[in-house]
Structure 1
Amino acid sequence: MQGGNLTNWGFFFLEGFSRYPKLEIALFVFSLVMYLTTLLGNSTLILITILDARLRTPMYLFLGNLSFMDICYTSASVPTLLVNLLSAQKTILFSGCAVQMYLSLAMGSTECVLLAVMAYDRYVAICNPLRYPVIMNRQVCVQMATASWATGSLTALLETSFALQVPLCGNLIDHFTCEILAVLKLACTSSLLMDMILLVVSVLLLPIPMLLICISYVFILSTILRISSAEGRSKAFSTCGAHLTVVILYYGAALSMYLKPSSSGSQERDKIIAFLYGMITPTLNPIIYSLRNKEVKDAVKKMLGKMSSHHTQEHL
């Protein structure tokens, strides 16, 4: 195809998993089940944090933001994937591609910052419990959550706006979504400015927050080990374990995709990692927090009990 700016392309072909036509139905069923589970699990978490007065704490404020983020992240790419898995013409409009790229970058970047904020929240709760209500007051928590969203949104806007100006020599994207690295593989020439922007943003949003998380958990672990009662240690480990599990899942996938030499893996491997991350992690987040948290389980049981009682009264 002839070279030109991305704006010259009205639509793009998404290669996706079309090389494996026999797997497309199985992938469709898997993706649909995981997407519906993600919507149900994360919506339930958001709902209980709003309805249950016991969960109106900083940790659940951040968890509600994380759940909303996961819904937005999956909704930006999975519906297109589901349509394309059943379609012969796996296309996406230019406008849809731009929106998809921006939303996936914005949600992913915001989650990087938010996970670091949640680590700081756990650090204050365990290492400075007496000052926790003062340090993590409602205003501070809202400001920290807002800063996470603003950072993610602005860095995504920067990356997307520059990516859309790179001249492309084709419109066949070897991915199931308009992932920025897959789109930039179509560039006619390499752009030093674009490469620098990607590198700087990746370093700011991956290693630095991860380092802050690690430092927080060093202090947290040191404090937990000094707790005399076994019950106290168990409760502290429980409240941190869920967050740490999500951090490992998220950063493991993100680092393998964005901070590696370009020649260190195939595009097929990147697609599989992105697919598994995009499907499994948002689904697991509410499950991880629910299984390891008695307050969440009690709130869900309470909500289901109220729904069941209301349903029974309607039939009487």
Structure 2
Amino acid sequence: MENFTFNSFTVQLEGLKVSKYSMYPVFLFFFFSYLFIMITNVGIVVLIFIDKSLHQPMYLLFCNLPVNDIVGNSIMMPRLLSDILQPPTEHFISYYCIECVVQAFTSHIFGTCCHTVLMIMAFDRYVAICNPLRYAAIMTNKMVIKLTVSAWGVALVLIGILLGLTIRLNRCRTLISNPFCDNASLFKLSCESVFINNAYGLTFTVVLLTSSIGSMVLTYTKITVVCLTSKNKSLNSKALKTCSTHLSVYLVVFLCGMLIIMLHRFPQYSDYRKVAAIVFHIIPGCLNPVIYGVQSKEIRKFLSRFFQTRKVLPSL
């Protein structure tokens, strides 16, 4: 299955092991999941853009999540859907020309931004609940832009270095044992020492998760203290709604990511790891707009007005 010519411009994806009987059900499941992700996330972005009542820091920062879901799934899912309907011997992908390296880059940007965006959203919730009188002065449009740029900028720089260290390696293999390209799969194609890649990747993962978990623990500890010491029922109710939404999204991302990390330690469960890697893209992309759509009073009001208008128009 492996070709030992050096630096081949084409590599082969192992893909999912799907029987001919389950091929179409699996394809339809992923297709409708992708369709749902695109419709709901694009809808959320458009809704926030056109409705001025949603031009608030909380929603503008949240808007980064659906954008991340759209980009991350648009690069990965179409190729996955195509490969499901093809035999494994035809799962070839170009290494450089847009496809494999870009796919790996965007998949890691997706995973990193899930954490960095949720971190800046946690800061917004902290200011809103712990410093409500100074919220407008702190969370200005300029601050929202700074937080957004920092969330994406940190991800772009860190992943740029990660993939840069991998691209420099010579390759002596062409088989990627994954349904899509990622950094670990790419540097495993090399017969050179990958110590630097492993060291940087491990350091990057530890720093990202430590920063992410640390910011959540610190933020929610302070918010909990404020809520317990405050007798303001309105503030506590608002804190419960907004924080439960944010924490739910974070736990979904965290648990999906940890599942992949744990399965990497068990090569015998490689098929489960492949499914977990796809699930990491699908589940947050499906749940994020649903969780925020259900919890957000402003979004529910907009959708209610929209559907009421649609009902009235035909009667006219």
- After TM superposition, the score normalised by the length of structure 2 is 0.91
Task: Report the alpha carbon displacement of residue 166 of structure 1 after superposing the two structures with TM.
Answer: 2.4
Could you say what the CA RMSD is over the residues aligned between the two structures, in angstroms? Answer: 2.2
Relative to structure 2, which stretch is displaced further, 245-254 or 266-275?
A: 266-275
Asked if 2 retains the 8 angstrom alpha-carbon contact of 1:206 and 1:255, the reply is: no
Task: Report the alpha carbon displacement of residue 3 of structure 1 after superposing the two structures with TM.
Answer: 4.0
Partners of 1:109 and 1:296 lie apart in 2 by 27
Report the AA paired with residue 291 of structure 2: I
Q: What per-residue deviation string (whole Å, max 9, x for no partner) do you get for residues 136-172 of structure 1?
A: 1110111110111111111111111211222333212
Unaligned segments of structure 1, at least 5 residues: none
Asked if 1 retains the 8 angstrom alpha-carbon contact of 2:120 and 2:147, the reply is: yes
Partner of 1:127: 130
Task: Report the alpha carbon displacement of residue 31 of structure 1 after superposing the two structures with TM.
Answer: 0.7
Partner of 2:50: 51
Structure 1 residues 259 and 197: CA distance shift in structure 2, 3 A: farther
Q: What per-residue deviation string (whole Å, max 9, x for no partner) do you get for residues 85-113 of structure 1?
A: 11122222222001101111122212211
Partner of 2:198: 195
Partners of 1:64 and 1:17 lie apart in 2 by 32
Relative to structure 2, which stretch is displaced further, 285-294 or 188-197?
A: 188-197
Partner of 1:37: 36
Structure 1 residues 261 and 36: CA distance shift in structure 2, 3 A: closer
Point out 4+ residue stretches in structure 1 off by more than 3 angstroms. 1-5, 19-22, 229-232, 258-265, 303-309
Q: What per-residue deviation string (whole Å, max 9, x for no partner) do you get for residues 229-261 of structure 1?
A: 555433321111111011011112223434787
Partners of 2:245 and 2:23 lie apart in 1 by 33
Partner of 1:60: 59
Report the AA paired with residue 42 of structure 1: N
Partners of 1:166 and 1:262 lie apart in 2 by 24
Q: What per-residue deviation string (whole Å, max 9, x for no partner) do you get for residues 245-303 of structure 1?
A: 11011112223434787457632222121121111111110001111121111122233
Tell me, what secondary structure is at the counterpart of 1:198? helix
Number of residue pairs matched by the alignment: 311
Tell me, what secondary structure is at the counterpart of 1:167? coil
Tell me, what secondary structure is at the counterpart of 1:169? coil
Relative to structure 2, which stretch is displaced further, 119-128 or 105-114?
A: 105-114
Partners of 1:261 and 1:86 lie apart in 2 by 26
1:236 aligns with 2:235: no
Equivalences for 1:260-271 in 2 at 5 Å? 262-263=265-266, 266-271=269-274
Partner of 1:163: 166
Unaligned segments of structure 2, at least 5 residues: none
Task: Report the alpha carbon displacement of residue 36 of structure 1 after superposing the two structures with TM.
Answer: 0.7
1:254 aligns with 2:254: no
Partners of 1:136 and 1:240 lie apart in 2 by 17
Task: Report the alpha carbon displacement of residue 189 of structure 1 after superposing the two structures with TM.
Answer: 4.0
Tell me, what secondary structure is at the counterpart of 2:34? helix
Partner of 1:148: 151
Structure 1 residues 308 and 265: CA distance shift in structure 2, 3 A: farther
Task: Report the alpha carbon displacement of residue 20 of structure 1 after superposing the two structures with TM.
Answer: 4.0
Partners of 1:259 and 1:29 lie apart in 2 by 28
- After TM superposition, the score normalised by the length of structure 1 is 0.91
Partner of 2:306: 303
Identity across matched positions, percent: 26
Tell me, what secondary structure is at the counterpart of 1:168? coil
